[in-house]
Amino acid sequence: MHRRDSDGGSRPADRWSITTTNDQPTDDQPTDVDPEKQSVKSQRLAPGALRGMVEDYLRDNSGEFSPNSIDRALDRSSGAVHNALERLVESGYAVRTSDKSKKYSLAAATAA
């Protein structure tokens, strides 16, 4: 049913009518999203998988990186990448090279 205001304002409707819409899926219309069209970010990773991706990124790329630069490269959230980086620092795999503008790199012992 569709509510129709007689004066177009906020007054309660004095007429109601049944309407049909094409918004509802039919048998020949797919109801789920094509998995190939979903972004990588929307796919849920297994526990610890992002940390592994960040480890790989640091190992494969030399230099200092901010969580934002890594998140763009991996198509993941910067908060999740930051958390993974902090865990890698705790484990000794990575080092935080700057606190003000947080930057990280592969630990020297790991790089050797």
DSSP per-residue letters across 43-81? SPPPTTHHHHHHHHHHHHS-S-B-HHHHHHHHTS-HHHH
- Does residue 15 sit in helix, strand or coil? strand
Query: What pTM was computed for the model?
Result: 0.61
- Structural domain range at position 77: 63-112
Residue 89: CATH number of its domain: 1.10.10.10
Percent of residues, the chain, with pLDDT higher than 90? 54
> How sure is the predictor about 92, in pLDDT bands with cuts at 50, 70 and 90?
very high
In this structure, is residue 76 part of a structural domain?
Answer: yes
In this structure, is residue 28 part of a structural domain?
Answer: no
> How sure is the predictor about 109, in pLDDT bands with cuts at 50, 70 and 90?
confident
The answer, yes or no, to whether residue 12 has pLDDT greater than 80, is no
Q: How many domains does the chain have?
A: 1
Residues linked to residue 17 through DSSP beta bridges, in sequence order: 2
In this structure, is residue 85 part of a structural domain?
Answer: yes
In this structure, is residue 82 part of a structural domain?
Answer: yes
> How sure is the predictor about 44, in pLDDT bands with cuts at 50, 70 and 90?
confident
Residue 106: φ, ψ to 5°: -65, 140
In this structure, is residue 5 part of a structural domain?
Answer: no
Closest listed residue to residue 74, CA positions, set 91, 61, 92: 61
pLDDT at 108: 85
